[in-house]
């Protein structure tokens, strides 16, 4: 990624369309209970972007949301229920599931919240107990 790319993303039915420009701040896997429930899977593949890198091009009136925790506002399409992004206000970042971005090459750097995993993945990537220190976690690494 050179940082100049533009990627298209959107919900399941296509009523909400957005673009992401540049490169994500981080790509990783999350194993926390909240992300597993939200993604309906054993692990969540996410990308973190600066808010100014996202532009909703179409269907903003279809976006609905829910805050299970004050720092994470999850957004989805009111028409199809398709997941769109999570606004992590305390980190000032937008979390976009890798699967909703077309033609995006997902290259994860690490695993976070691995202490909660239900699916052990032996891929050689660092496994953080919770989050990196700069994101408010312990920064502790766990064995693969």
Token look-up 């995006």 returns: 104
Q: Which fold has domain 6-142?
A: 2.170.150
Per residue in 97-113, pLDDT (tens digit) is 999 999 999 999 999 99
- Residue 3: what pLDDT? 62
Q: Where are the beta strands (DSSP E) in 11-142?
A: 17-21, 26-30, 44-49, 54-58, 63-69, 72-77, 83-88, 93-97, 110-112, 127-128, 141-142
Report whether pLDDT(116) > 90: yes
Work out the end-to-end distance of the chain between its first and last CA atoms, rounded to an integer number of angstroms. Answer: 28
Q: How far apart are CA 122 and CA 133, in angstroms?
A: 23
Q: Where are the domains of the chain?
A: 6-142
| Beta carbons within 8 Å of 37's beta carbon, 6+ residues apart | none
Per residue in 71-87, pLDDT (tens digit) is 889 999 999 999 999 99
Report whether pLDDT(43) > 70: yes
Inter-residue contact 96 to 47 (CB < 8 Å): yes
Report whether pLDDT(134) > 70: yes
Tell me the pLDDT of the chain averaged across its residues: 94
Dihedral of alpha carbons 8, 9, 12, 13, sign: negative
Inter-residue contact 43 to 119 (CB < 8 Å): yes
Mean pLDDT of 18-36: 96
Q: Which two tokens stand for residue 112?
A: 């976070």
Report whether pLDDT(47) > 70: yes
- Residue 127: what pLDDT? 98
Burial 41-58 (b: 16+ CB within 10 A, else e): eebbbbbbbeeebbebee
Mean pLDDT of 121-136: 94
The residue length of the chain stands at 144
């Amino acid at each position: 990624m050179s940082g100049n790319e533009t990627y298209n993303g959107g919900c399941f039915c296509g009523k909400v369309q957005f673009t992401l420009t540049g490169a994500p701040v981080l790509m990783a896997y999350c194993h926390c209970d909240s992300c597993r429930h939200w993604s309906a899977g054993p692990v969540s593949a996410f990308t973190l972007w600066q808010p100014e890198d996202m532009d909703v091009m179409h269907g903003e009136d279809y976006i609905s949301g829910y805050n299970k925790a004050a720092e994470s506002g999850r957004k989805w399409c009111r028409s199809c229920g398709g997941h769109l992004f999570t606004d992590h206000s305390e980190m000032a970042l937008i979390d976009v599931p890798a699967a909703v971005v077309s033609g995006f090459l997902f290259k994860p750097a690490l695993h976070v919240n691995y202490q909660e995993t239900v699916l052990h993945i032996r891929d050689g990537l660092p496994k953080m107990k919770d989050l990196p220190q700069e994101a408010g976690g312990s920064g502790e690494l766990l064995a693969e």
